[in-house]
Structure 1
């Protein structure tokens, strides 16, 4: 494989990259890489890596970044390695620069491949891309190269490519996906739900409709100033120092790069916005990025109507296969029909193997997948067997 690297999104052949990203998530597109580039903290560096076949055809791509400190609390390798490596190695990981492959935001990473790539081509491409990512990490004197929040196939591919370096493969978290393509309308959805859950769904739909609130669909750039206070309110409610100006900056930036892919549902009472749900469209999927609300208004099941019921009632499922809902709030999402999808993280020692205890890694993976099943399997429509998530 011929490997080519680009230091900026501006230098990246965006059309070639997005031809690879057609089979991945919105968060792996060139547009989201542009967002991430502008959000890089001081001292961070980026590499956009592309692998080409012998005939010059682009085959696969991988983002890689280096940081002097973790860019977010949930991208902290030392936290994942606690109890798996010895104290000296753990201290080195915690104190030295780090590298992150496959994206460092949105809690979803992926290697992008040509849609028709076969197993041998995927393997060759991943080996070439990860070799370059490891070299980049070495140049930054990072102690660890981490690939976060990967789908299972990518995680296994990357772990195999780094097997010589003692890669640590961990079950990490769960994303939820609403299979909206199963239903033409709310009647289909109600019939699909278990009988005991239907009254709550009907009640939440009725509560919102009787409130007199309306929902209209707009593009993000049209309403950045209107949604910024709502998003700030949501973040502050959950303990984050996140003012209106910062929210406007964040979503103004996303509007510049991704406005043509955005579809935002805005709930209004009269002329006043009371809530919103921002989604991005990619292929036959929607990606629910963020919501926000004005807590000065009574809650009329606004979140569930914007994220679940209104799209179903609109007939979104006739053109959209699924809506990705991200991490967290599992009971609320799963009990209303979202399905769980496991995500994994691969950690690689840069200057030397991490030396993780294989038995401890296996036991942690077993315990954490079983714990998720014990807590949430009863909420999953159709049931859940986390044995399939084991590594």
Structure 2
């Protein structure tokens, strides 16, 4: 006897048990977790409703939908994603507003729950005079699921990850070209020779020291950043995500001069922030050591499989063994509307720039993308 799926909406993740949510959201990783989305919920500028699909007393699907008044992050501006899709008008923002990655939390047997969930969220959009749901930065698996419900899809960028499967640092090196192995060994040797005092710390214990270093990095790259604002940001991270934090630190005579902030969630280490005292660093490849090499050694000790490096600076990441997975902007219209007409996503430039080793074809080649040439034609891509 089948059990009917029921959908309800709650105004806060405080109304959902963390263990129940994370059991459902585990395949999506940190950026779909109760702790991460709870931290997003506390940010100013938007309200949120969480649609929950339940079969009996079991949660089988979930979807956050946001009412955005002010968006402080230009990468999450609705206009940016609508431009990628060639669309306009009012669309409700669904998925997440932070993290540059979203995967729909759904049980393995939750197809009926997902159907009911999307129907309820689209009914809400229709009642508010919106054209449908707009999902930024979703994974291929989620994009495929939404496409099957009539969504339009456009390329929104890519995320980088180094998959080590828990290998030692030497094992990691074996997956690089001989030229890159030499370069990485040189970088890590130079860093070791600098004789910093190294540790892996909890964010709660070092966030006050780390904040000015994060501010230095932000200002170096042209962003307005007050040290006090950085302290507030990191203090918020401590409160919501502190138990997952792993801070790789470099010190001189006890004084923090460089750090990378990462979160350990499941079998993945997620890179989130980095900072330096530029008067004391910059000559020993500190960035690569703190963001790649020390974390990879830590992953080996902990049995972690993946170092998630996020978006941007793709060339440096691919050079150090990362693979790139596409992220998609998705517009799911109201049930009464046809699929929006969007030109097939052309991903050939990514293939030309990064080569087949860095781009898993099963993610980049989809029904909404232009076909790549036959493999023999792109064997030589670098």
Same fold per TM (> 0.5)? yes
* Residue matched to 1:297: 280
Scaled by the length of structure 1, what TM-score is found? 0.85
Please state how far the C-alpha of 1:309 moved relative to its aligned partner.
1.0
Secondary structure of 2:212 counterpart: helix
Q: Is the 8 A contact 1:177 1:322 kept in 2?
A: yes
Correspondent of 2:195 among 195, 212, 221:
212
The answer to whether structure 1 residue 49 and structure 2 residue 51 are counterparts is yes
User: Do residues 374 (structure 1) and 375 (structure 2) align?
Assistant: no
Tell me the alpha carbon deviations over residues 122-176 of structure 1, each in whole angstroms, 9 at most, x when there is no partner: x322222222222333455445521111111111112223x2xxx2111211101
1:145 and 1:349 in contact (8 A); partners too: yes
- C-alpha distance in 2 between matches for 1:196 and 1:49: 50
Deviation, structure 1 residue 329:
0.6
For residues 276-295 of structure 1, the aligned pairs below 5 Å read 276-295=259-278
Structure 1 stretches lacking a partner, 5+ long: none
Aligned partner of 2:310 among 326, 336, 339? 326
CA distance in 1, matches of 2:278, 2:74: 27
User: Once the 2 structures are TM-superposed, how far is the Cα of residue 214 of structure 1 from its aligned partner?
Assistant: 2.3
Q: Quick one: which of 320, 327, 331 aligns to 1:343? A: 327
Is residue 250–residue 256 contact of structure 2 (8 Å, CA) maintained in 1? yes
Compute the displacement of 1:353 (Å).
4.7
Aligned ranges for residues 258-269 of structure 1 at < 5 Å? 258-269=241-252
Which position in structure 1 is the counterpart of 2:377?
none
From 15, 19, 22, give the equivalent of 1:18.
Answer: 22
* Correspondence list, 1:149-164, <5 A: 149-161=137-149, 163=150
Identify if the C-alpha distance between structure 1 residues 170 and 29 changes in structure 2 by more than 3 Å, giving closer, same or farther: same
Ranges in structure 2 where 5+ consecutive residues have no aligned partner: 367-382
Q: Is the 1:373–1:385 contact (alpha carbons within 8 Å) kept by the matching residues of 2?
A: no
Query: Deviation per CA, 1:36-74, whole angstroms, max 9, x where unpaired?
Result: 111031xx2201121111x33211211111113545211
* Offset, 1:351: 10
Q: Secondary structure at the match of 2:145?
A: helix
Q: Is the 8 A contact 1:126 1:157 kept in 2?
A: no
Are positions 1:129 and 2:117 aligned together?
yes
Q: Paired residue for 1:102?
A: 95
Q: 188, 193, 204: which is aligned to 2:171? A: 188
What is the number of equivalent residue pairs in this alignment? 361
Against the structure 1 CA distance between its residues 388 and 279, is the aligned structure 2 distance closer, same or farther, given a 3 Å change threshold? closer
1:373–1:386: 8 Å Cα contact kept in structure 2? Answer: no
| Pairwise CA distance, 1:325 | 0.6
Distance 1:72 1:99 in 2: 17
* Partner residue, 1:172: 156
Q: Quote the Cα distance in structure 2 between the aligned partners of 1:79 and 1:257.
A: 29
RMSD: 2.3
- CA shift digits 1:156-211 (9 cap, x unpaired): 112223x2xxx211121110111122522x22223332111111101111111111
Question: What SS class does the counterpart of residue 240 from structure 1 fall into?
Answer: coil
After TM superposition, give the deviation of residue 354 of structure 1 in Å: 8.4
C-alpha displacement at 1:82, in angstroms? 3.3
Name the structure 1 match of 2:379.
none
Mapped partners of 1:148, 1:307: distance in 2: 26
Cα deviation digits, residues 295-331 of structure 1 (max 9, x gap): 2223121111112111233453651010111001101
The farther-off stretch of 63-72 and 19-28 is 63-72
CA distance in 2, matches of 1:139, 1:238: 43
